[in-house]
Amino acid sequence: MSTETKQETAVEVIKRSSHYLRGEIGRELDNDVASVSNESEQILKFHGIYAQDNRDVRRERALKGEELDYIFMIRVAIPGGRLTTDQWLALDGASSDIADGTIRLTTRQAVQFHGVVKDGLRPLARSLDAHLMTSFGACGDVVRNVVSCPELQGNEADERLREISRHLTRSFRATTEAHWEIFVNGDKAASREVADERPFYGETYLPRKFKIAVAHPDENCVDVLAQDVGLIPGVHPEVGEGFNLLVGGGLGRAYANPDTFARLADAMTFVTYDEVDEVIAAVLVTYRELGDRTERKRARMKYVVADMGFEQFRKEIEVRLGRELREPLPLPEHFDADDHLGWKTCSDGTHQVGVRVSAGRVRDDDGGTRLRSALRLIAQRHPVTFFLTPQQDIVISAIPESARDEVQEILRNHAVRPDAELGNVERTALACPALPTCGQALTEAERRLPELVGTIEGALASRQLGRRALQLRMTGCPNGCARPAVAEVGIVGRTKSTYDVYVGGGPRGDRLATLYREKVPFDEIAVVLGPLFDRWELKGDEDESFGDFITRVGVA
């Protein structure tokens, strides 16, 4: 029997020698080279920055013997997706001054800037810091941006629920001062405190990223079962208000590693508000110590839970806490995701409107929708609150009665389509950025999503299914950033020109989709789905969703 001990990955070595995420980043930012070293690329991720190049021109430049078109993507962590008008205007200004003129909304309620050159990294970080925002911790092997349903955070929401995403962010953000020393020249915002690094991070931090989401008790827009830790508010008959705490979810996988897979979280316990930090910290320590640091593709916490078995993992948490965990409450029965689109009058008399953002890209299209200008004008005129949603959309909240008509007119004058005009596939379709910027992308996603939406909506309309909603999600690789593994139809990039097609998930996010066809050319996706649509039309129950139908009858 082999006694060979696996070596830790190169990334682990880099983290340990980085002096708490400092490395040589500062020195490399000061030189005239457009790119950074591999070591700095790895540490920059903790600062919310990905080193990339424009893949549209990669081959052309290589043939000419030219240097690659090096650029950076910066992700801004926005806890719960909540932004003031001043913060939105700061993001809007940075998109023109430093980035490519667009603002990219992610499925984790964060903001991404694309096309930033190295000299723009520090000015952007300083602008964010001046408006109490940061990219630090938006990427890297730490607790990422904490996601929370927008409906938990409005003016009419319970105060503790309204602040839970920010509370968890403060509790689990790394405390190293590296980001502010390197990018903001040590100037401290009033909200920061100097402290030793947290014990559940240490000098090597976590084996991989860690995601937390807080769902609404009545709907699942955050895909709470797809998270490392998910929280669902509830009231326990003995201890009162708190959360069902779920563990072990995650959707990414790797084609080259058959031991990787998507997994839904298990309900582990019910925690009170006073207990939630302690229990999550115990989960983090367990993951830190038991997670795989020899193979990054299998380093996520879901594999710790799967390999140990959920019951053994739960016992491990009890040992670390020194007490037994109480049983969780039953999960909600009616949990369909709300898209938060359209107008709504709140109980306090204010209004909100959810606006569709195609593939999360806020921009002004020549001769078309000028969403970026519309949002800028609203932010300049009214002290509203913006909420980014896990569906890559934006909710304009806290609109006073006196401003409702003007906000509606601004949207209309900028050709922003109301929710009633959206197609039933278009309404909730998601895509990751993929090409040309993402280094992991195998093929297109965001740029081809509108075409795929139109094709599938046409296929449904031709079968008298045009009024039925269909949840479509598309990614350029199997990492699953747009969560296709729980979609009714998930389209996942397989090669440069083909996709794998998954079916059978659904808007509740409580089941995994099944692989239906492999390596399908883009132009044949709707054709491949055609027989399933035929069966849905002929044999589906009235108002039965596509995902529910496929789960009931199968794909054979």
Q: What is the pLDDT of residues 485-518, one digit of tens each?
A: 999 999 999 999 999 999 999 989 999 999 999 9
| Amino acid making up residue 422 | L
Has residue 235 got a pLDDT over 60? yes
pTM score: 0.96
Q: What is the pLDDT of residues 123-141, one digit of tens each?
A: 999 999 999 999 999 999 9
Residue 379: is its pLDDT beyond 90? yes
Which domains can be identified in the chain, with CATH numbers? 10-140 (3.30.70.2500), 143-173+206-335 (3.30.413.10), 342-421 (3.90.480.10), 430-553 (3.30.413.10)
Q: Please, which pLDDT band fits residue 2 given cuts at 50, 70 and 90?
A: very low
Q: Are strands 266-272 and 240-247 parallel, antiparallel or unpaired?
A: antiparallel
pLDDT given for residue 189 in this prediction = 47
The answer to whether 480 touches 519, Cβ cutoff 8 Å, is: no
pLDDT tens digits, one per residue of 172-219 = 999 999 999 999 986 554 445 545 899 999 999 999 999 999 999 999
The three-class DSSP label of residue 81 is helix
The beta-carbon contacts of 479-484 under 8 Å, at least 24 apart in sequence, are 479/252, 479/253, 479/440, 480/251, 480/252, 480/253, 480/262, 481/106, 481/107, 481/432, 482/107, 482/430, 482/431, 482/432, 482/445, 483/107, 483/223, 483/226, 483/251, 483/430, 483/509, 484/251, 484/513
3-class secondary-structure state, position 270: strand
Mean per-residue pLDDT, 458-470:
95
Q: How far apart are CA 554 and CA 534, in angstroms?
A: 14
What was the pLDDT predicted at 188?
Answer: 52
Over residues 431-435, mean pLDDT: 97
Gap between the Cα atoms of 412 and 28, Å rounded: 47
Query: Quick one: pLDDT band at residue 170, thresholds 50, 70, 90?
Result: very high
* Residue-level pLDDT at 187: 52
Instruction: With a cut of 90, say whether residue 328 has pLDDT above it.
Output: yes
In 3D space, the residue among 303, 305, 205 whose CA is nearest the CA of residue 247 turns out to be 305
- In this prediction, residue 157 has a pLDDT band, given cuts at 50, 70 and 90, of confident
The pLDDT tens digits for 306-315 are 999 999 999 9
Q: pLDDT value at position 190?
A: 42
